[in-house]
């Protein structure tokens, strides 16, 4: 069975507007509409940037349900359903499939620090329960474990595992993975500072934090490269490096929440154990945003 790409280009790892009372669905709806109107290629809901790990189960499902209904088929929708509890990931994946998501994003089980054998069994268990394609998410700086290229290769023929979000940062490992899974798994950059490098290895795009602020521009970067304008894509990649750096000067999503609050899309509120951005970092970020015309 030939696998279909969940998306090609840029998918925003979307923030979840929160305040002391819970999820601000009015702002969330505005944000979803704006992202789609600005030409984003897909949206990821309840990922790391969406603070999925600190949403209650009721909130998580409500956010997933609201977002897919609001998007109403205008762009592919990807649900963050991974967990360190595989049974919970299975339940949430079944729920997201049922409410109409086009794909799942499955983060490496965190804290438990599974072996590679454990990763294979865990991802297979969730994918077996899914009726939609699954993108595996490797982010060892957060989870404490790395998905090895040989592990991707072992999972690549599963009919419901279609892609990889690679945020490991090791280009050599990603190149090795690309050589082992070519034609069987789509590779997406999970780091905004590596979009062009990963696309040069055959990547299909990015799951992006930057595109919360710049959906049209991040999508354009990807499609320039895909359309053969590698020089244009490289120029955009390098142009946005200072802003990308500022968005990751503290733990994501602390900076992007501050940025989106300044743009009027949410409160500058993150849930503990995250805290608001340090003043000096925030002013540096806002300066870069002013230079891009994002805020006054």
- As given in the structure block, the two tokens for residue 267 are 């409160």
The answer to whether residue 239 is catalytic is no
| 31 Cβ neighbours under 8 A, 6+ residues apart | 14, 15, 17, 260, 265, 266
Whether residue 108 has a cis bond before it, omega within 30° of 0: no
The answer to whether residue 165 is catalytic is yes
Identified catalytic residue from 3, 101, 132, 137: 137
Q: How far apart are CA 246 and CA 176, in angstroms?
A: 30
Q: What is the H or E stretch that residue 180 is in?
A: helix 171-181
Q: How far apart are CA 81 and CA 86, in angstroms?
A: 10
Q: How far apart are CA 41 and CA 7, in angstroms?
A: 7
Tallying the residues shown for the chain, one arrives at: 296
Q: How far apart are CA 262 and CA 277, in angstroms?
A: 12
Identified catalytic residue from 3, 132, 165, 204: 165
Active-site positions?
Answer: 137, 165
């Amino acid at each position: 069975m030939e696998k279909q790409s969940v998306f090609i280009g840029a998918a925003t790892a979307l923030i979840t507007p929160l305040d002391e009372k819970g999820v601000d669905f009015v702002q969330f709806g505005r944000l979803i509409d704006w992202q789609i109107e600005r030409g984003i290629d897909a949206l990821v809901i309840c990922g790391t940037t969406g603070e999925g790990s600190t949403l209650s189960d009721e909130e998580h499902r409500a956010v997933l349900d609201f977002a897919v209904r609001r998007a109403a088929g205008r762009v592919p929708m990807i649900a963050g359903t991974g967990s360190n509890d595989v049974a919970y990931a299975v339940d949430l994946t079944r729920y997201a499939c049922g409410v109409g998501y086009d794909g799942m994003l499955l983060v490496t089980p965190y804290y438990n620090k599974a072996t590679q054998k454990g990763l294979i069994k865990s991802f297979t268990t969730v994918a077996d329960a899914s009726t939609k394609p699954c993108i595996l998410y490797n982010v060892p700086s957060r989870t404490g474990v790395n998905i090895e290229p040989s592990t991707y290769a072992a999972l690549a023929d599963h009919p419901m595992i279609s892609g990889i979000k690679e945020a490991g940062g090791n280009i050599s490992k990603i190149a090795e993975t690309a050589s082992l899974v070519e034609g069987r798994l789509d590779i997406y950059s999970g780091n905004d500072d590596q979009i062009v490098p990963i696309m040069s290895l055959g990547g299909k795009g990015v799951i992006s934090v930057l595109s919360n602020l710049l959906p049209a521009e991040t999508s354009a970067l990807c499609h320039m490269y895909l359309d053969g304008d590698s020089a244009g894509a490289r120029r955009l990649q390098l142009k946005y490096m200072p802003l990308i750096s500022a968005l990751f000067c503290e733990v994501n999503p602390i900076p992007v929440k501050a940025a989106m609050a300044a743009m009027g899309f949410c409160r500058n509120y993150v849930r503990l154990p995250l805290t608001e951005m340090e003043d000096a970092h925030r002013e540096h970020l806002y300066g870069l945003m002013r230079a891009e015309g994002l805020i006054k």
